[in-house]
Chain A
Amino acid sequence: MTHAAHHPATKPFRKRFADAAEPYLYSAPALILIVAVMLVPLVLGISYAFRDIQLLNPFSGRFIGLDHFRALGQDQAFFRALRNTLWWTGASVFLQFVFGLILALLLDKPFAGRGLAQALCFLPWAVPSFLAGLNWAWLFNPVIGPLPHWMYAFGILDAPNNILSDPQLAMWGPIIANVWWGIPFFAITLLAALQAIPRDLYEAASIDGAGPVQRFISITLPFLAPTIAITILLRTVWISNFADLIVVMTNGGPADRTQIVASYIFTQAFKRLDFGYASAIALVLLVLLLVYSLLIVLLRQTLLNKD
């Protein structure tokens, strides 16, 4: 060993090459996989946004620069989809969070049959999203589903109609289905965070004079805050990209009233078969979500640094 260390230049070339290449060779399988599976499609997809690619037009495929983005700037359907996306994401995340938190708080208290109740509450998460969408579409259908009749009986609707075909109400259909489907995510993560809070803090607070509401505000919420921040960030990105339920339940209709950006991309790509334009929209959505995530991460950093 000491001999070799004194004369590094005398090592044969193959040995030196092997030494230098060793770390790269070890990481090569993972790197090749990432490049092939993630980077290549990503770069290809981005390149489509700057090319004229229409599946049914054999003469398309040339580079057109920013033409798609200019068209997008004039596309009223896109801006409506953008507004719908905000509405869809905001309402879904907010309601999922509120009901998920309530469910988590209920499941945190010991009661008889809690194990069974927990299992049942987490069941929707296991239902495939297309199945959930179909199921809710049927529930809202006055011919076979009970919901329109119940809502009519409660006076919420003027007549037992399908809200999915009412332009004013249609968005509520997929939102309700999405809330039902997504509550378990918040319930599971928040329940885990709740159960990590030391019980004696609650006891100390109750002796200090705090009632249930004050204990929730001064102990539960501060402990849950990091979990809440990260789950809301995740769910926001997730739901704004999540077109399954809308495609299944309303297909963007009636009259594009439930079209969100993700379902608009789906429509452009697989109905109109205009892959170039669909890629351009996807790129805009990607940039918007990146900016949003960056803002949340910055916010979290400043909050943590303030500590």
Chain B
Amino acid sequence: MASIDIEGIRKSFGAFPVLHGVDLAIRDGEFVVLVGPSGCGKSTLLRMIAGLEEVTAGDIRIDGKRVNDLAPKDRDIAMVFQSYALYPHMSVADNMSYSLRLRRSTKEKIASAVSGAAAKLGLDPLLERRPRALSGGQRQRVAMGRAIVRQPKAFLFDEPLSNLDARLREQMRAEIKKLHGDLRATSIYVTHDQIEAMTLADRIVAMHGGVVQQVGTPLDLYDRPANLFVAGFIGSPGMNFFEGRYLVSGDHADLKLENDVTLPARRVGGIESGEPATLGIRPEHVVITEGGALEGRVDLIEPTGFGIIMHVTVHDVPLKVFTLNRAMLNPGATVRLDLPRDKLHLFDGEGRRLG
């Protein structure tokens, strides 16, 4: 177990920069999820920690020791790959024991480590099989088993569940969380799936365009997104946005849209009256009520079983509403809506959070 410190990490492929100075301190035993759209640099960052990519600038420390110039094998980390990268010509047991055999561990130690990991992951009946005789989920487990036999300082996961179907992904997600609860090993997990990020992480690192956008607990990112990118990326269905000008009148404030419609906003600091701003509200926070201040034209109804996603148009701006009210399956042509002030998010012209 170990802490991992990342200071001012930059990475360029040739002249093309992909990471613009990342700072991150990961505590011992913490589960950190790097999340972002594809191409945001999250996998590159993980591969640099693993030693598979060279560091252009900055320092990586594992357990206080600078590892920039160490080979992957000397960093004492384990990695689970998206493709699993199992050795096809070795049995499951040999796949799991490979790292221990390379380190010339004793036969007894190898046997006990493999059987311990196999028991944790339910791999006992499969130990003599070759990877090609396994299902996707089983291969995933073997990849996990290969990582845990060695008890490394840290686990790195590179989109490990992307190749599984939805049901299996859900199941493995829970197992990874349980496993982390048992082992308490420092883990860095890369995913583009915000549900995985929300459910697994102690802390989420949201990345975009090679820059860290926000670091915080899952609920931090959900409740107080630091900027427009995080607000739009976290949450499903995604947050609704209205662009306009922030107008202060007395002790309350409004957002004036381009078509001169005004929406209620909150009085916040850091912005002057008349400046451009963006108002955000999550679909689940929009209230459908008889006396609502806004009228929405219903465009589309998407029942998910659990709830209903309604696509409505308010003053020519599309808006998504999530409701548990089954009556909304047949809502009629229009609905009255309210945007509760305490659920509103405000962002300035540069997309930074206000208030």
Contacts and interface: CB of A to CB of B under 8 A. Distances in A.
A75 interface: no
A207 interface: yes
Nearest to A211: B73
Interface in A164-204: 198, 200-201, 203-204
A201 B95 CA distance: 11
Interface string B61-92: 00000000001110001110101011101000
Contacts of B146: 204, 208
A210 B87 contact: no
B71 A206 contact: yes
Contacts of A211: 73
B73 A209 contact: yes
Interface in A194-247: 198, 200-201, 203-211, 214, 218-219, 222-223
Contact of A198 (B50, B52, B85): B85
B102 A207 contact: no
Interface residues of B, number: 21
B98 interface: yes
Given A207-B50, A207-B73, A218 B87 contact: yes
B49 to A, nearest CB: 11
B83 to A, nearest CB: 5
A207 B103 contact: no
Contacts of B81: 200, 203-204
Contacts of B52: 203, 206-207
Contacts of B85: 198, 200-201, 203-204
Nearest to B75: A207
A183 to B, nearest CB: 27
Interface in B152-197: none
A208 B77 contact: no
B79 A214 contact: no
A207 B79 contact: yes
B213 interface: no
B138 interface: no
B151 to A, nearest CB: 13
A208 B71 contact: no
Contact of B99 (A203, A209, A222): A209
A218 B85 CA distance: 14
A219 B103 contact: no
A208, A210, A214 — which one has the most chain B CB atoms within 10 A of its CB? A208
Contact of B77 (A198, A200, A207, A219): A207
B123 to A, nearest CB: 17
B321 to A, nearest CB: 43
A210 B130 CA distance: 21
B78 A207 contact: yes
A209 B103 contact: yes
A111 to B, nearest CB: 15
Contacts of B77: 207
A205 to B, nearest CB: 8
B50 A208 contact: no
A207 to B, nearest CB: 5
A219 B102 CA distance: 13
Contacts of A218: 87, 98
Contacts of A204: 79, 81, 85-87, 146
Nearest to A204: B85
B102 A210 contact: yes
Nearest to B81: A200
A198, A205, A211, A223 — which one has the most chain B CB atoms within 10 A of its CB? A205
Contact of A219 (B79, B83, B87, B99): B87
A84 B185 CA distance: 65
A198 B73 contact: no
Contacts of B99: 208-209
A200 B83 contact: yes
A55 B85 CA distance: 66
A198 B98 contact: no
B56 to A, nearest CB: 18
B100 to A, nearest CB: 9
A203 to B, nearest CB: 5
Interface string B32-74: 0000000000000000001110000000000000000001110
B102 A214 contact: yes
Nearest to B152: A207
B2 to A, nearest CB: 15
B102 A201 contact: no
Contacts of B71: 206
Contacts of B51: 206-207
A198, A200, A219, A222 — which one has the most chain B CB atoms within 10 A of its CB? A200
A209, A210, A307 — which one has the most chain B CB atoms within 10 A of its CB? A209
A196 to B, nearest CB: 12
A222 B140 CA distance: 23
B83 A210 contact: no
5 contacts: A203-B50, A204-B79, A204-B86, A206-B72, A208-B98
Interface of A: 198, 200-201, 203-211, 214, 218-219, 222-223, 307
Given A208-B98, A209-B103, 19 more contacts: A198-B85, A200-B83, A201-B85, A203-B50, A203-B52, A204-B81, A204-B146, A206-B51, A206-B52, A206-B71, A208-B73, A208-B99, A208-B102, A209-B73, A210-B98, A210-B102, A218-B98, A223-B89, A307-B130
List 9 tightest A-B contacts by C-beta distance, closest first: A204-B85, A208-B99, A200-B85, A209-B73, A222-B89, A209-B102, A206-B72, A207-B72, A207-B79
